[in-house]
A and B are shown apart, each in its own frame.
Chain A
Amino acid sequence: MADVALAPSPAPDAPRTRSADLIARSLSRRRRAEVRFRAYGLAAVIAAIAFVVFLFWTILQSGLPAFFQAAMTVEVTLDPAVIDVGPRPVRADFPNEAAFAAADLAWQTALAGKNFGSLIERAVNAVLATPASSRDIRAIYASNERFRLRDMVAADPGLIGRTIPFTLVASADVDVWFKGNIDRSLPENQQQLTLAQQQITDAMIADGTMKSVFASWIFTNVDSRSSPATAGLAGAFMGSLFMMLVVIALSVPIGVAGAIYLEEFAPKNRITDLIEVNINNLAAVPSIVFGLLGAAVFINAMHLPLSAPIVGGLVLSLMTLPTIIIATRGVLRAVPPSIREAATGLGASRVQVVFHHVLPLVIPGILTATIIGVAQALGETAPLLLVGMSAFVANIPTGLFDQSTALPVQLFLWQGNENRNFFEPRTSAAIIVLLGLMILLNALAIFLRQRFQTRW
């Protein structure tokens, strides 16, 4: 460039051709820059897509098989000699509700004390060529199945005395063996199943008694330590759901109202500047710090129950608030001032301007911000660990104050389980559920945005 400018003085008609020359030369340079830039962009996008595909592929590959588990269908004879505890009490025979309740409870306790395991043992032995020991049989199926059989009988005492087909979920170790997730050539002392148990399993696979079935209990059961094969996500799912409700109920109205106030009504001065800086800083605070805050304030100071969705939800709301406020202020600022001027010029008050004209325009943006914030909160683990939501909970929570856990925390717990061969695919399955939920939320965000979009 510089040497061209210093070149000997041009002929009279030269300037035009020379500048055209210069432009032509710079054109090819500019075009090269453009091509380069596009190549970088394309490479970045391809790399990103490749990572996402890889991620989904690995998760689906390892997680999908976990939705199917080994189970064996056997004919269980509900022998009255073993489990009969007489007819279930009926309300009409008792003078009052309390007496009936006591009798019914006694009946249930009596039933619970019966040996359902021996019924299952008989049924399993019936399909085996050579009878197995009760220890081996108990190792084959998930221990929870005994209670499931008992509950079936309690719900319908008429079954007593009949023979019913019953699908036993195989134990976690058998499932691992069934799926070949463990090296069969390892010596017996390094296997989870004894030689005898391996033989029983193989025999059942060979004669078709043991099959792969869809593990619907992943969605309906709660976590279980004693019976990992029938452990499910229902408790964690409900816990997450309750927390999301708390987050939506608290952070959306407070965040949106706060953003509207700060953006539209608050005077611009030192104090509001300070508030703005602080909100921006809050958005950058590591989430675990919110967990510490929650533990100190909600649990130690306010004595809210440990491990409850209300506390987890409060902590996540604190975390989501800055995100929602910042995003809402962003969309409010993007509303063209001409709309505000038009309404103000007609004599609309400030509140009318905001609620009649500005808000309808920004609702899609607010929805998107909200759902992204909520999705973020849904996937958050660290702060929940600090308010006790990693505790083992064996019941599905029914309210905000019940003990519960959360989906990402459940993931974390399963990933840390010592039975890795069984729980690694299980973790991936849980990730699939979590991702599915997130994708659903995002789809909802997109749908709502399209729905409320104002044609401009």
Chain B
Amino acid sequence: MDQPASPPTKMGVSVTSRATEGSAAAAPVKVSAQNVDVFYGEKHAIKGVSINIPERSVTAFIGPSGCGKSTFLRCINRMNDLIEGCRVTGRILLDDDDINDRSVDVVLLRARVGMVFQKPNPFPKSIYDNVAYGPKIHGLARTRAEMDAIVEQSLRKAALWDEVKDRLKEPGTGLSGGQQQRLCIARAIAVSPEVILMDEPCSALDPIATARIEELIDELRQNYTIIIVTHSMQQAARVSQQTAFFHLGNLVETGSTEFMFTNPHDQRTQDYITGRFG
């Protein structure tokens, strides 16, 4: 509210989206959004957003509450399909295929683009079954031994294996909040997705669990494309290579994290990063 409309920036330009600058520009594009608009009934929640997400890197979405980060994130694996009255227009490409195309099987899309939700939401089943569920429905394991291996690997990657290896048969809902969140991450990576969407994965976690998840994200970056929504500027700075700043449904600015945090173009970005509104 301090900065209503978009005023000219210091450099005299006001664009909604800025080409990537700095280091990450070289990586191939994994997800590309072109002029995406989202409506909840009459409400225009995302306004003409275009962005390129590079492969095998971490992209952070930041912005004040209600600006549409979650909404945009959910477009990428079409979770908005579940919401009554939600309409998405524009093109979103995953490896050059339009995910909203009729020919796209949404089940396959969601197997390729996994999601970790803001609130840990393990199934009320055993820890093992939580992780094994995705591989099971997609037929990724042919034998029990293969499944055991997938479960162990996923839990190891999520830095949870040592804590739960003796209690795999116990309900996943009996874990602590941070453990549950890591279980959800293990569940998501068990399907070997290409892209992982994380909506404020650390918002309910203590600093230690947060640090572990950040470590995990850093590791996962080697093999996966990660998009993370966060309210913590420090977290965005620590884990991401690119940052996108959303404001009132607009993508205000995007670029390499280093650049964004040291030299933002837009006044609103600067105000937000320095904590003047949001």
Contact = CB atoms under 8 A, between A and B. Distances in A.
A361 B133 contact: no
Given A341-B79, A352-B137, A346 B117 contact: no
B229 to A, nearest CB: 14
B92 interface: no
Contacts, number: 65
B123 A455 contact: no
Interface string A321-352: 00000000000000010111111111111001
A455 B123 CA distance: 11
Of A339, A342, A356, chain B has the most CB atoms within 10 Å of the CB of A342
B82 interface: yes
Interface in A114-138: none
Given A340-B82, A341-B82, A456-B173, A346 B124 contact: no
A171 B173 CA distance: 66
A342 B174 CA distance: 17
Nearest to B187: A346
Nearest to B110: A347
Number of chain B interface residues as a range? 20 to 34
A223 to B, nearest CB: 51
A441 B133 CA distance: 36
B256 to A, nearest CB: 29
Contacts of B77: 345
A268 B84 CA distance: 8
Interface in B58-107: 77, 79, 82, 84, 107
- Secondary structure at chain A's binding surface: helix, strand, loop or mixed? helix
A347 to B, nearest CB: 4
B107 A345 contact: no
A454 interface: yes
A339 B191 CA distance: 17
A270 to B, nearest CB: 15
A92 B91 CA distance: 90
A339 B123 contact: yes
Interface string B103-119: 00001111100110101
Contact of B184 (A340, A342, A357, A361): A342
B114 A345 contact: yes
A18 to B, nearest CB: 34
B108 to A, nearest CB: 7
B255 interface: no
A349 B171 CA distance: 23
B138 to A, nearest CB: 6
Given A268-B84, A356-B133, A346 B121 contact: no
Nearest to B107: A347
Contact of B173 (A344, A345, A356, A455): A455
B137 A348 contact: yes
A347 B190 CA distance: 12
Nearest to B122: A342
Interface of B: 77, 79, 82, 84, 107-111, 114-115, 117, 119, 121-124, 133-134, 137-138, 171, 173-174, 184, 187-188, 191
Given A338-B119, A345-B110, A345-B188, 14 more contacts: A339-B121, A341-B117, A341-B121, A342-B121, A342-B184, A342-B187, A344-B110, A345-B77, A346-B111, A346-B133, A347-B109, A347-B134, A347-B191, A454-B124
29 contacts: A268-B84, A338-B117, A338-B119, A338-B121, A339-B121, A339-B123, A339-B124, A340-B82, A341-B79, A341-B82, A341-B117, A341-B121, A342-B187, A343-B123, A344-B82, A345-B188, A346-B114, A346-B137, A346-B188, A347-B109, A347-B110, A347-B111, A348-B137, A352-B137, A356-B133, A357-B123, A361-B124, A454-B124, A455-B174
Minimum-distance CB pairs A-B, first 3: A338-B121, A347-B111, A347-B110
Interface of A: 268, 336, 338-349, 352, 356-357, 361, 454-456
